[in-house]
Amino acid sequence: MGQQASRHWQAARYNLPVQATKWLLVVFVGLAACAPGAEAGLTPTPSQPVQAYQTATATASPPAPTEPVVLPTATPSLYTVVSGDTFFSIAARHGISLQALQLANPDVNSTFISPGMQLFIPSSDEAAQALPNPTAAAADVSPATCYTTAANELWCFLLVRNTNEVIVENLGGLIQLLDAQGQAIANLAANPPLNILPPGMAMPLVAYVPEAPEGWHTARGQLSAAYPLTVDDYYLAAQPYEERIQVSADGLSAQVTGGVRLSAAPGAVWVLAVAYDSRGDVVGIRRWESGDLNSSADPQAVLFDLWVYSLGRPIDRIELLLEAQP
């Protein structure tokens, strides 16, 4: 199965000039297609000023929980889409996976949601039923990193690296917030911004709280789900080209542009930009979604243009993950 899955992705590394500095760009090409589309992510659009952020990250990771963190069960509900919403942001805010949200709304095109549209938000139990039940895959997990914004929102990242020889999918994680005495005060679900992760690559799982809990001091996380890819023809092979990264003078934002060539015309494409600081901590992500690919002159070649902003220290490098489905 590993050999079959490996045909559907490629990884490439590029040294790109950025303000007299060489930046490492890692591109996962196991899914991708492109046509100019809408950006979606955790940070402001390029036309908005970058906010000043207060950061609070663990200087030393607390010991891993001796017992699995149990999240409270959510209640099924209807959610009304507002301006600026994306499937990823809605899933993150409700503590469920992208796959669970998509399965709960099978008639909705995730790239074309509009204000006023209503989406069904499944409960935690219903979301869990969407996951397969094969043997879990192993992965390396870095200490959780959390940031409090000027608006008192809390964003947490749990960086997971695939140490298997095959692609893994349906990743999930748990992040526990601790006070200064090391006592747990909140449990958060950490969800993946993309569906799959290829061998040797890393992707942050994301947890979001609209108002940071009072008294939180550090965070610890654990991987709760990761499974070998079982359907090897669900994603398209792709090849990046003309990638370029431009980091601002203060290092707090970066523009990423480029294109992706595909093996076939795609139905949807996602580009995930992950920003790291000089210590290797995730400081921000941005998820770009393709628009209407039917209007593209060449549906097998898509261009993307996105911005990613730092929630903490200056950006040292950008890594890209791409995903495309037929």
Q: Give residue-wise pLDDT tens across range 223-269.
A: 988 888 877 678 888 778 899 999 999 999 999 999 988 888 888 88
Q: What pLDDT shows up at residue 224?
A: 86
Residue 71 — φ and ψ, nearest 5°? -85, 150
Please write the tens of the pLDDT for every residue from 131-157: 444 557 888 999 999 999 999 999 999
Please write the tens of the pLDDT for every residue from 172-221: 899 999 999 989 999 998 999 999 998 999 999 999 999 999 999 999 99
| In the chain, where the domains are located | 2-48+232-325
Lowest mean pLDDT across 175-184, 292-301, 305-314: 292-301
CA atoms within 13 A on the CB side of 225: 21
Please write the tens of the pLDDT for every residue from 260-274: 888 888 888 899 999
Q: Give the chain's mean pLDDT.
A: 75
Q: What pLDDT shows up at residue 17?
A: 33
Model confidence band, residue 7 (pLDDT cutoffs 50, 70, 90): very low
Q: What pLDDT shows up at residue 31?
A: 28
Average the pLDDT over 62-83 and give the result: 58
